[in-house]
Amino acid sequence: MTKSALQIARATYQPKLPKALKGAVKVKEGNATQSVADQEAIHQLFPNTYGMPLIQFVEAEASATQPAFNVGVILSGGQAPGGHNVISGIFDGIKKLNADNRLYGFILGPGGLVDHKYMELTGDIIDEYRNTGGFDIIGSGRTKLETVEQFEKGYEILKELGIKALVIIGGDDSNTNACVLAEYYAAKNYGVQVIGCPKTIDGDLKNEMIETSFGFDTACKVYSEVIGNIQRDCNSARKYWHFIKLMGRSASHIALECALQVQPNVCIISEEVETNNLSLDDIIAYVAGIVAARAAQGDNYGTVLIPEGLIEFIPAVKRLIAELNDFLATNAVEFSHIKKSHQREYIISKLSKENADIYASLPEDVARQLTLDRDPHGNVQVSLIETEKLLADIVSVKL
């Protein structure tokens, strides 16, 4: 492939490294760690891995010679800028310790571990992907690791390849996979370290040790630039309202950060909606009121930012989704035989009155989207729900 001048320049960029990753380091163990809440319950669930000490890398006088070892890496969940550089960093780090160390990537997420689909990531491959976005170097997936059979199938290939450490790069669901796998391998004394690397564009995996997960900063910068362009178009045309859906299933961090950067006319924050127990009609009335107030001043244009997970934070809709989840899980076979044209009426007839009324009030497209297949972790696929279209349509009717 012929590379452009931009691609060549991008490949030469050297990310800034913390002092701990420059030169010789040694491991210093700190205090035992604990969960933020439910310590006893989580301790019982993870008796072999709970309370492990905090590890800190500190300067050492000289690098000790390390015996050769192999590492596996998995990309899991949605893609995020920085994923390729995490893999590049792992490669550089293990090669620095011992040139004979090898890095293996499992293809298409955790499923690659279970199905023994992998590739060795060599220097030539790594150099092709340095400083590039996306997750395409080995692909990603959302397979949920939860059975002994999966754990054992994974161990078979780890043992065959001589892998002593497995790095799972992903968000909250992916790190749950990492925790469960680490606990099982620790209980079996398999000698495989499982390491979770926090990746979530939503920015909702953080603590005092992790300022922000990788992907969040880039997403906000790119979004803000695009929203700013739309707002400039608004100011020029002076006749459109733009309803813009942003990523953020379980957190509104991206919507809030973009709002701070671009100052839209309206930004809905899912957590506020839930805390204040707002209904869908409350949100519609709020947005319509702002549109009407601007119209009264002769300003018939503006922008509305909406986090993709908004609909799950509306308490009444959240209760509806919970009942739908239970119903569809226990009646999947029967539901699959219902004609698409009759599915809406069928579901309404099976729900409680409160939830049936809410479901019936939703536009048909949105109601249908709530019944789509869940992801492997049981979540409604909110990215497929056209929340921005829902709000725009109902606000139009309200006005």
Residues with catalytic function: 202
Torsion region of 168: left, alpha or beta (phi above 0 gives left; psi -120 to 50 gives alpha):
beta
Helix or strand or coil: residue 217? helix
- Secondary structure string (H, E, C) spanning 290-330: HHHHHHHCCCCCEEEEEECCHHHHCHHHHHHHHHHHHHHHH
Q: How far apart are CA 135 and CA 204, in angstroms?
A: 20
Amino acid at 305: L
Q: How far apart are CA 82 and CA 214, in angstroms?
A: 6
Could you tell me which of 74, 83, 170, 90 has the C-alpha nearest to residue 129?
83
Taking the CB of residue 5, how many other CB atoms lie within 10 A of it? Answer: 7
CA-to-CA dists, residue 104 to 72, 91, 165, 168, angstroms: 5, 10, 10, 12
- What dihedral do alpha carbons 360, 362, 364, 366 form, nearest 10°? -130
The DSSP line for 209-251 is: S-S--BTHHHHHHHHHHHHHHHHHHHHHH---EEEEEES-SS-
Asked if residues 192 and 72 have their Cβ atoms less than 8 Å apart, the reply is no
Q: How far apart are CA 198 and CA 176, in angstroms?
A: 11
* All residues at 6 or more sequence positions from 9 whose CB lies less than 8 Å from its CB, including other chains: none
CA-to-CA dists, residue 287 to 175, 241, 309, 332, 399, angstroms: 37, 11, 17, 37, 10
Q: What are phi and psi of 175, to 5 degrees?
A: -75, -25
